[in-house]
């Protein structure tokens, strides 16, 4: 007999106003000094506890173990293992949560089987990777961070949650908060960039967007802080590779976004694949229990990454899957994603006394609590409303918001002779050339939820045609491919290994493409190049050793350059590329990232000057792959190189390369505008800051140009001497401000000792008195500096 125990016992609403939510348990983050936990569900805690205690009293050990298991459906997957029996396992109560199985048609019947066929009728959580949109795809995550606009990030996540929940998904595996310094790593496209301050702010904004004030609302979803921790520094930029990060670096750079997400009430955490300083993160008691639970007070549950428990075996940290299950579970990994080692061995481990019943109960309780907080015990079908998908997905409003986000994310890297915006009064024809010009599939980037690649995305060609109508002729040619030119007898690694970026194109086909492109260019006033990478070249398992533009794109550009016409590059890519050639040879470069479903419209808005670009780089762009890792907040070293010293002989035995400048091609925080922002003199309210005081930093910024635009005013500091060596620059604040043409605004920042705090030599958190510099400017390499002292 099937029973439905759930809805039944609970009637009260789970929501409470945000203002009431700063509950008694809130603590100050030792990291960013922000207020903690918006634990809106806590008003119901007594009722929830009683319900779960009662439910757990009815559960067998096997049913409890079932709650610890997460299986993948067949709608997507990122690992080689998929267990096709998952639907029956749900009905048998052997699996408590599912991902990659959504839409009303697929998810509702599965929930029904859980509720009606399993003995206790416990509903399942349905998850999916909702990263930068569900079906209305927003800009690729790294691009979205380039907006330096927290509302863009929050709203993007809110719309993603609204659409995903309309398709029966109530749990996302985002945001990814791994700090990154290596553009070879494909997953930089999903990352929040290289700076800890920006990454923290963006990650928290996304959690707030996904989760809203009330997890039980049918339009919000549980978020996941991932990957905990260190994955972003995979050695050599090779995915899944080891990480070795000093304690100081780990706590100063990698931990803060995760701590801040705990404080913001993130529902779940995901372990990371890498081994960190010798211990695989998915089996690290230090990370998952000592830090996350005991020190930070995280109250949600921890899920492993895809088969990460089993991977403790090849890591050489567990003898077999059973041993791996014992290690990971005892470390604090509550839920096993796909790997089945909890399902297969947990009962034995309990019987043998290797895993305690208390530990099982603790993890099961956390998972059931999340089901409660999602409102599933009140109504297991609250995320399955047949009409909502039509009503809430791909709405005109969502598409417009995605267009706005894409406009705000694009970064104008170079703009010589005001090549952009296109001077429409003087232009009769545009040659639109490149593999990303008449291209829909790549516009939405990687990790693009359930985004359609064939019809929905607006290509750049479509966007320009819609904007320009009959006024300007567009002469289109593809011109190049991502494939490499095949030379006779070519035995290079490009040939025959696998397809992504390693396809080859024969000479005749290449020659034909070039010919068409040259023909299109010859009859046009300006050349707009749509260049970059195929979306599959970044993302998971998409590391590259070369980060120049792939395939025959260079050959194409070299041919077009001979024509002597203005050339504007629109770059589509999920990583910082080596753009040294493009920088030298193109008049302007606009980095569009992967702009999303409305991308073609958004980029056209910028190209024709309806809006001004306002994005700033969240990651350093190196001059060559040889400079990697290259990031703005590096240490000074004992032998800092001074490129400006006129006596270069003195600079020989300094920290530098013989064959390259140290400086990047484009620095962190760089991004131009059609407006002309002039900075006045930076002023400090005092030449010193007291430990319990405030220092005001202000500057007048004027838009001296003819275009309106937004500027990201950036504030950095440097501690000149510390108990450990300190970075040459650290971002401490930013403001994105709108300026009309001719407008001046005074921008003010307030610095406190908390802003200057860090993990000191003894690993205590706090500031150190002494000499500092404050820097204000338009990019990390374009600032004014003033000295001040921090005094006791």
What is the set of active-site residues?
305
- Given the complex with ligand BGC, which of 79 and 629 has the nearer CB atom? 79
- Given the complex with ligand BGC, which of 187 and 601 has the nearer CB atom? 187
Q: Residue 324: which of 291, 285, 282 has the closest Cα?
A: 282
Footprint of ligand BGC on 60-79 (CB under 6 A)? 78-79
3-state SS, residue 633:
coil
558 phi/psi in degrees, rounded to 5 = -60, -40
**Which residue has tokens 């008049």?**
587
Taking the complex as a whole, the smallest distance from the CB of residue 127 to ligand BGC amounts, in Å, to: 8
- Given the complex with ligand BGC, which of 226 and 440 has the nearer CB atom? 226
Largest CA distance in the chain: 89
8 A C-beta contact, residue 586 and residue 414: yes
| Cα angle for residues 412, 728, 142 (degrees, 5° grid) | 35
Taking the complex as a whole, the smallest distance from the CB of residue 144 to ligand BGC amounts, in Å, to: 17
How far is the first Cα of the chain from the last one, in angstroms, to the nearest whole number? 72
- Given the complex with ligand BGC, which of 444 and 603 has the nearer CB atom? 444
- Given the complex with ligand BGC, which of 131 and 579 has the nearer CB atom? 131
- Given the complex with ligand BGC, which of 173 and 342 has the nearer CB atom? 173
Check residue 540 for interaction with ligand BGC (CB under 6 A). Answer: yes
Query: How many helices and strands in the chain, by DSSP H and E?
Result: 21, 29
Taking the complex as a whole, the smallest distance from the CB of residue 135 to ligand BGC amounts, in Å, to: 17
Taking the complex as a whole, the smallest distance from the CB of residue 78 to ligand BGC amounts, in Å, to: 4
Contacts with ligand BGC by CB under 6 A: the residue count is 8
- Given the complex with ligand BGC, which of 187 and 382 has the nearer CB atom? 187
Footprint of ligand BGC on 739-758 (CB under 6 A)? none
d(CA 347, CA 586): 64
Taking the complex as a whole, the smallest distance from the CB of residue 272 to ligand BGC amounts, in Å, to: 8
Check residue 269 for interaction with ligand BGC (CB under 6 A). Answer: no
- Given the complex with ligand BGC, which of 283 and 550 has the nearer CB atom? 283
d(CA 529, CA 108): 46
Taking the complex as a whole, the smallest distance from the CB of residue 64 to ligand BGC amounts, in Å, to: 24
Taking the complex as a whole, the smallest distance from the CB of residue 306 to ligand BGC amounts, in Å, to: 4
**Which residue has tokens 């408590």?**
96
Taking the complex as a whole, the smallest distance from the CB of residue 173 to ligand BGC amounts, in Å, to: 3
Taking the complex as a whole, the smallest distance from the CB of residue 41 to ligand BGC amounts, in Å, to: 24
Taking the complex as a whole, the smallest distance from the CB of residue 285 to ligand BGC amounts, in Å, to: 21
| Cα angle for residues 605, 608, 611 (degrees, 5° grid) | 50
- Given the complex with ligand BGC, which of 231 and 593 has the nearer CB atom? 231
Q: What is the dihedral of CA 65, 66, 68, 72, to 10 degrees?
A: 150
Task: By CB under 6 A, name the one of 86, 171, 306, 716 that touches ligand BGC.
Answer: 306
3-state SS, residue 526:
strand
Check residue 275 for interaction with ligand BGC (CB under 6 A). Answer: no
8 A C-beta contact, residue 166 and residue 389: yes
- Given the complex with ligand BGC, which of 71 and 415 has the nearer CB atom? 71
Residues near 165 by Cβ (< 8 Å), separated by ≥ 6?
A: 218, 219, 220, 221, 383, 388
d(CA 350, CA 363): 14
Taking the complex as a whole, the smallest distance from the CB of residue 97 to ligand BGC amounts, in Å, to: 12
d(CA 272, CA 306): 9
- Given the complex with ligand BGC, which of 171 and 788 has the nearer CB atom? 171
- Given the complex with ligand BGC, which of 71 and 552 has the nearer CB atom? 71
8 A C-beta contact, residue 320 and residue 313: yes
Cis check: omega of the bond before 448, within 30 degrees of 0: no
8 A C-beta contact, residue 430 and residue 472: yes
Taking the complex as a whole, the smallest distance from the CB of residue 194 to ligand BGC amounts, in Å, to: 19
- Given the complex with ligand BGC, which of 78 and 242 has the nearer CB atom? 78
Check residue 226 for interaction with ligand BGC (CB under 6 A). Answer: yes
Q: Residue 205: which of 162, 154, 156, 266 has the closest Cα?
A: 154
Task: By CB under 6 A, name the one of 163, 305, 392, 582 that touches ligand BGC.
Answer: 305
Q: Which two tokens stand for residue 602?
A: 């958004």
H, E, C per residue of 678-739: EECCCEECCCEEECCCCEEEEEEEEECCCCCEEEEEEEEEEECCCCCCCECCEEEEEEEEEE
Task: By CB under 6 A, name the one of 69, 129, 321, 534 that touches ligand BGC.
Answer: 129
Taking the complex as a whole, the smallest distance from the CB of residue 174 to ligand BGC amounts, in Å, to: 8
How far from 737 is each of 152, 542, 551, 677, CA to CA, in Å?
14, 36, 39, 11
| Cα angle for residues 592, 595, 596 (degrees, 5° grid) | 170
Cite the beta strand spans of 411-537 per DSSP E: 411-415, 429-433, 473-477, 484-485, 504-505, 526-532
Q: Residue 736: which of 148, 136, 160 has the closest Cα?
A: 148
Q: 3-state SS of the chain: helix, strand, coil percent to 5?
A: 35, 20, 50
Footprint of ligand BGC on 154-193 (CB under 6 A)? 173
Secondary structure (DSSP) of 469-481: TTTSEEEEE----
3-state SS, residue 53:
helix
Ramachandran category for residue 302: left, alpha or beta (phi over 0 → left; psi -120 to 50 → alpha): beta
Cite the beta strand spans of 86-223 per DSSP E: 97-99, 125-128, 171-172
Q: Residue 740: which of 778, 699, 709 has the closest Cα?
A: 709
Check residue 83 for interaction with ligand BGC (CB under 6 A). Answer: no
Query: Residues in the site for ligand BGC, rule: CB under 6 A?
Result: 78-79, 129, 173, 226, 305-306, 540
């Amino acid at each position: 007999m099937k029973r439905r125990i759930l809805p039944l016992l609970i009637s009260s609403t789970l929501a409470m106003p945000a203002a009431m939510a700063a509950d008694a348990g809130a603590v100050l983050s030792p990291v960013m000094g922000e207020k903690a936990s918006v634990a809106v569900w806590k008003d119901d805690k007594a009722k929830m506890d009683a319900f779960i205690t009662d439910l757990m009293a009815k559960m067998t050990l096997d049913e409890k173990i079932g709650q610890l298991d997460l299986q993948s459906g067949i709608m997507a997957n990122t690992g080689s293992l998929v267990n096709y029996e998952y639907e029956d396992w749900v009905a048998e109560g052997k699996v408590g949560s599912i991902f990659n199985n959504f839409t009303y048609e697929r998810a509702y019947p599965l929930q029904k089987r859980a509720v009606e066929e399993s003995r206790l009728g416990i509903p399942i959580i349905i998850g999916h990777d909702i990263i930068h949109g569900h079906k209305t795809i927003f800009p690729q995550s790294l691009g979205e961070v380039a907006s330096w606009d927290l509302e863009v990030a929050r709203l993007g996540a809110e719309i993603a949650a609204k659409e995903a929940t309309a398709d029966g998904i109530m749990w996302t595996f985002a945001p990814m908060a791994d700090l990154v310094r290596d553009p070879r790593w494909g997953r930089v496209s999903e990352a929040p960039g290289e700076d800890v301050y920006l990454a923290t702010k963006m990650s928290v904004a996304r959690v707030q967007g996904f989760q809203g004030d009330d997890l039980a609302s049918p339009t919000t979803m549980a978020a996941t802080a991932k990957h905990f921790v260190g994955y972003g520094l995979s050695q050599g930029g090779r995915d899944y590779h080891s990480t070795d990060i000093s304690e100081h670096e780990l706590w100063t750079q990698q931990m803060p976004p995760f701590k801040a997400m705990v404080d913001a009430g993130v529902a779940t955490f995901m372990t990371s694949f890498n081994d960190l300083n010798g211990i695989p993160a998915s089996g690290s008691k230090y990370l998952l229990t000592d830090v996350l639970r005991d020190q930070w007070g995280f109250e949600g549950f921890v899920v492993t990454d895809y088969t990460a428990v089993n991977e403790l075996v090849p890591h050489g940290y567990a003898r077999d899957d059973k041993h791996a299950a014992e290690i990971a579970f005892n470390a604090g990994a509550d839920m096993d994603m796909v790997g089945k080692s909890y399902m297969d061995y947990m009962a034995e481990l309990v019987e043998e006394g290797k895993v305690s019943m208390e530990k099982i109960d603790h993890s099961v309780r956390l998972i059931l609590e999340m089901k409660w907080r999602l409102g599933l015990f009140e109504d297991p079908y609250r995320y399955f409303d047949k009409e909502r998908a039509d009503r809430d997905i791909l709405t005109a409003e969502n598409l417009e918001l995605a267009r706005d986000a894409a406009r705000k994310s694009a970064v104008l890297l170079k703009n010589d002779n005001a090549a952009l915006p296109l001077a429409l009064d003087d232009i009769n024809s545009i040659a639109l050339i490149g593999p990303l010009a008449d291209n829909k599939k790549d516009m939405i980037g990687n990790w693009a939820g359930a985004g359609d690649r064939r019809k929905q995305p607006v290509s750049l060609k479509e966007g320009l045609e819609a904007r320009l109508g009959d006024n300007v002729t567009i002469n289109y040619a593809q011109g190049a491919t991502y494939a490499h030119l095949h030379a006779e007898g070519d035995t290079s690694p490009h040939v025959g290994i696998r397809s992504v970026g390693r396809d080859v194109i024969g000479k005749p086909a290449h020659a034909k493409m070039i010919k068409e492109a040259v023909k299109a260019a010859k009859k046009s006033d300006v050349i707009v190049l749509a260049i970059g990478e195929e979306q599959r070249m970044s993302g998971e398992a998409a590391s590259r050793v070369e980060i120049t533009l792939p395939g025959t794109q260079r050959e194409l550009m070299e041919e077009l350059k001979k024509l002597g016409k203005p050339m504007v590059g629109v770059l589509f890519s999920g990583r910082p590329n080596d753009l040294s050639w493009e920088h030298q040879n193109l008049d302007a470069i606009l980095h569009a990232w992967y702009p999303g479903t409305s991308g073609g419209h958004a980029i056209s808005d910028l190209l024709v000057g309806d809006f001004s670009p306002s994005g700033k780089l969240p990651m350093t762009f190196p001059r060559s792959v040889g400079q990697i890792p290259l990031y703005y907040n590096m240490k000074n070293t004992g032998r800092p190189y001074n490129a400006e010293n006129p006596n270069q002989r003195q600079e020989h035995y300094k920290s530098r390369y013989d064959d390259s400048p140290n400086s990047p091609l484009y620095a962190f925080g760089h991004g131009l505008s059609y407006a002309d922002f002039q900075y006045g003199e930076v002023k400090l309210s005092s030449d010193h800051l007291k430990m319990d005081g405030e220092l005001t930093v202000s500057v007048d910024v004027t838009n001296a140009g003819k275009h309106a635009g937004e500027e990201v005013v950036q504030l950095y500091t440097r501690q000149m001497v510390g108990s450990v060596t300190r970075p040459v620059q650290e971002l401490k604040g930013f403001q994105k401000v709108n300026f009309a043409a001719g407008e001046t605004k005074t921008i003010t920042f307030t610095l406190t000792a908390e802003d200057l705090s860090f993990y000191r030599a003894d690993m205590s958190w706090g500031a150190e008195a002494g000499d500092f510099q404050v820097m204000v400017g338009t990019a990390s390499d374009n600032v004014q500096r003033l000295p001040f002292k921090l005094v006791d």
